Amino acid sequence: MKLLDQEKVKNLVRKYGLTTPKTFLIKNKTELKKIKKKYFPVVIKIDSPDIVHKTDAGMVIRAISNKQELLNAFNRLEANVKNRFPKAEITNYVIQEQIRGYETIIGMKRDPQFGPAIMFGVGGIFVEVLKDVSFRIAPINKKDAYEMIREIKGYKVLNGIRGNRPINFKALIDILIKISKISMENKNFKEIDLNPVFVNEKNAKVVDIRIMVDET
């Protein structure tokens, strides 16, 4: 299997109408001028087929509030890659507007017997620790998607506690349905990892997408 590069992921996002933060793909620091003041704060990360878990590898820098901080962050990432992954192929530097909300995860793993299994749960860096997830075999419908959300322990948080408003469940369900459709229509996709998907009372946005494809 190999990691699908972000250019192809971006085309996929456009095709299926997945909601994402404002995103820029740049090749070098001279292209940082594309990032206007109105887009801050932003996150910068590496797009590389040789670096799968970017956060764990220190290849994600958050809460960048201005152009000077962005330049500094770019230089840090560039140096980190050269020091830690000198042979890594760097496809792009990815810059995104920073989104607020609860972190959730949506994923797919293709089972040789049952086909694509869709997963939903608590996201972010604690997903492996909490293991608060639910599963369904694709294709799924709106009812299936809502049941998946309700099954996790974190549903009480998403539904609003301590004065917080409930999240936009319709927007989250829409992403689950689209991942099911992508899984059914792209048989060479072996794994899909959307982590995190930030959700709040207004919307749900996919911040990071990792897709593993069959090379055959």
Tell me the per-residue pLDDT of 153-189, one tens digit each, with 9 for 90 and over. Answer: 999 999 988 778 999 999 999 999 999 999 999 999 9
The confidence score (pLDDT) of residue 162 equals 79
Stated pTM of the model: 0.84
- 7-43 pLDDT, tens digit each: 899 899 999 999 999 999 999 999 999 899 999 999 9
Count Cβ atoms below 10 Å from residue 2 Cβ, excluding itself.
Answer: 11
β pairing state of 209-213 and 189-199: antiparallel
- 43-99 pLDDT, tens digit each: 999 988 888 778 777 889 999 999 999 999 999 999 999 999 999 989 899 999 998
CA distances from 58 to 53, 72, 104, 115 (A): 9, 15, 21, 33
DSSP helix/strand/coil, 116: strand
The confidence score (pLDDT) of residue 130 equals 65
Average pLDDT score, the chain: 92
Give, as one character, the DSSP assignment of residue 159: T
pLDDT at 203 over 80: yes
Smallest CA-to-CA distance from 58 within 68, 48, 66, 67 is with: 48
Which residues on adjacent β-strands are paired with residue 116? 110
The rounded percent of the chain whose pLDDT value lies above 90 is 75
β pairing state of 42-47 and 60-64: antiparallel
Read off the pLDDT band of 216 (50, 70, 90): low
What's the token pair of residue 104? Answer: 């959730």
Superfamily grouping for domain 22-97: ATP-grasp fold, A domain (3.30.1490.20)
pLDDT at 126 over 90: no
Which sequence spans correspond to the domains of the chain?
22-97, 102-213
Give, as one character, the DSSP assignment of residue 170: H
What one-letter code names the amino acid at 107?
G
Instruction: For residue 92, report the phi and psi dihedrals to the nearest 5 degrees.
Output: -155, 165
- 93-116 pLDDT, tens digit each: 999 999 889 999 999 999 999 999
Q: Which helix (H) or strand (E) holds 192?
A: strand 189-199
Give, as one character, the DSSP assignment of residue 7: H
Smallest CA-to-CA distance from 104 within 87, 81, 85, 126 is with: 126
- What CATH number should be reported for the domain whose range is 102-213? 3.30.470.20
